[in-house]
Structure 1
């Protein structure tokens, strides 16, 4: 079935729904700038091993004599630290790009896993109904009634530090948003004639759900995924800043901000400032893209 949200966009002759989506998306300059910035951030993160003068993971390349160098100063290895160095002598430019790799990886994996589990639970609740639906939605209501940061703190404190532990915590925090949204959309689709026709033809439950209901529930899932990816990146940075996320040996953006916080009063602002700017730009760029996708998929919300 064709996504009804895409069919609401005016279409020219010989134009596919996705080319129509791209054309409508490109009409917003702010969203295009956000997408360009996000793609640039992804490219820099992917090319980090080849475009940075130092590997912040390699302790042999880190010299304590280079600690807290100001932006533009020369390091002992002979390269210029354009953004300065942190408290242990790591080049901030290199650390930020490697930190972006971790942040984007955590956000993408956590978003995909949360979306998969949440969409599955939402479809199950809507299609089966009864006690199964009541149980799933009570769990969703309970989780959404608690602050996400509180749940994440409890889980990370119980599981320990590490990228895998952070991802598990973020999946547990975020899956309920997908479940509630998909359940509402699936309930609407389930009552439509094409679903009743598919059921009357004797199609399997799996085929009815994944072939007919799920495709028409994907528009809000795409929007939630972009928003929750940005939220996951910010939440990981928050947990790392609080000291319960990634270990100090991992140069994530949250760890870098945390490492520089103790030097703020001494005037060494750059240790926290530049990682904070990188985190802010990444989250804003993703949110700009997500807002535009929401407007395109649901023209009634367009500003």
Structure 2
């Protein structure tokens, strides 16, 4: 009787699993990662406040008020004011939009280039694979921030050049991930069937192989956005990023350190906490996506 009951329960579980769509199965796994969902919710709020800041905030990031300079947090200015009387919270919210723009656009550019080169290297092999991986090895030989500093030193400071610099050091990681996945999938039965049916290489690569490794790309993309935001803030902190007057977290942190000895802690605490919280949320959410997209890591059944 016990064996029969166990078999019935197991068959019901298998039937229920088969009836689920891939999207519902992904959502079921992701819901079990509550910390990742919480991090994703915080990122969603950040996006809302960043792009709807003019609606929520009574101040603009460049509204000077010389009668209220270097004021600590109050009911009027929740995060205080800077040396020019500008509202720190308003600058943080507008800086969030800029940081998210730099991080997402730079990683998108790096992902498109890296995925393309990784697909060609893994699928064709030979000299294409050798050249691509040697270039990736050269870029990997430099720490990311040093490579970005070197590129900025050549191109000059500015938002566009920061995006280019961060995108370049994102390319080799995406290329290596996609190359490894392509090597594992190009000999699969369904790929061989597509090849035998006469499908051209571009169709095989982008329609049959790429969807199989897209999960790993999405996970790394999410984590890489946080790293890119941190790198862009670091470049602005040392004066190689945006202009000092631009409301960007790294530039705000650099300007605020001059007033630490005067006890104006809020000028460095709030930008630093914004960078820390955003990067941590992207990493935690990316880790949850990895667990939800990989059935081998499913422990919620």
1:249-280 Cα shifts (integer Å, max 9, x gaps): 21111111111011111110000101111111
TM-score for both structures, normalised by structure 2: 0.91
Looking at structure 1, the residues matched to 88 and 59 of structure 2 have their Cα atoms a distance apart, in angstroms, of 10
**5+ residue gaps in structure 2?**
1-13
Match of residue 28 from structure 1: 33
Matches within 5 A, 1:211-222: 211-222=207-218
Q: Tell which deviates more after alignment, 159-168 or 227-236.
A: 159-168
Looking at structure 1, the residues matched to 23 and 110 of structure 2 have their Cα atoms a distance apart, in angstroms, of 25
Match of residue 52 from structure 1: 57
Looking at structure 2, the residues matched to 275 and 302 of structure 1 have their Cα atoms a distance apart, in angstroms, of 37
Looking at structure 1, the residues matched to 15 and 47 of structure 2 have their Cα atoms a distance apart, in angstroms, of 31
Q: Is the counterpart of residue 207 in structure 1 residue 203 in structure 2?
A: yes
Matches within 5 A, 1:71-220: 71-72=73-74, 80-220=76-216
Partner of 1:262: helix, strand, or coil? helix
Is the 8 Å Cα contact of residues 186 and 213 (structure 1) preserved in structure 2? yes
Looking at structure 1, the residues matched to 15 and 42 of structure 2 have their Cα atoms a distance apart, in angstroms, of 28
Taking structure 1 as reference, are residues 32 and 10 closer, same or farther at Cα in structure 2, changes over 3 Å only?
farther
Larger radius of gyration: 2
Among candidates 15, 20, 34, match of residue 15 of structure 1: 20
Match of residue 282 from structure 1: 278
1:172-225 Cα shifts (integer Å, max 9, x gaps): 011110000100000110111211111111111111111101100111101110
Partner of 1:55: helix, strand, or coil? coil
Q: Is the counterpart of residue 67 in structure 1 residue 69 in structure 2?
A: yes
1:74-129 Cα shifts (integer Å, max 9, x gaps): xxxxxx11110112221001000000000111111111111111000000101121
Is the 8 Å Cα contact of residues 158 and 240 (structure 2) preserved in structure 1? no
Match of residue 7 from structure 2: none
Is the 8 Å Cα contact of residues 29 and 291 (structure 2) preserved in structure 1? no
Match of residue 11 from structure 2: none
Aligned length: 286
Looking at structure 2, the residues matched to 30 and 148 of structure 1 have their Cα atoms a distance apart, in angstroms, of 28
Match of residue 6 from structure 1: none
Looking at structure 2, the residues matched to 176 and 86 of structure 1 have their Cα atoms a distance apart, in angstroms, of 40
**5+ residue gaps in structure 1?**
1-8, 74-79
Match of residue 9 from structure 2: none
Q: CA deviation at 1:283?
A: 1.1
Partner of 1:81: helix, strand, or coil? coil
Runs of 4+ in 1 over 3 A off after TM superposition: 9-14, 299-303
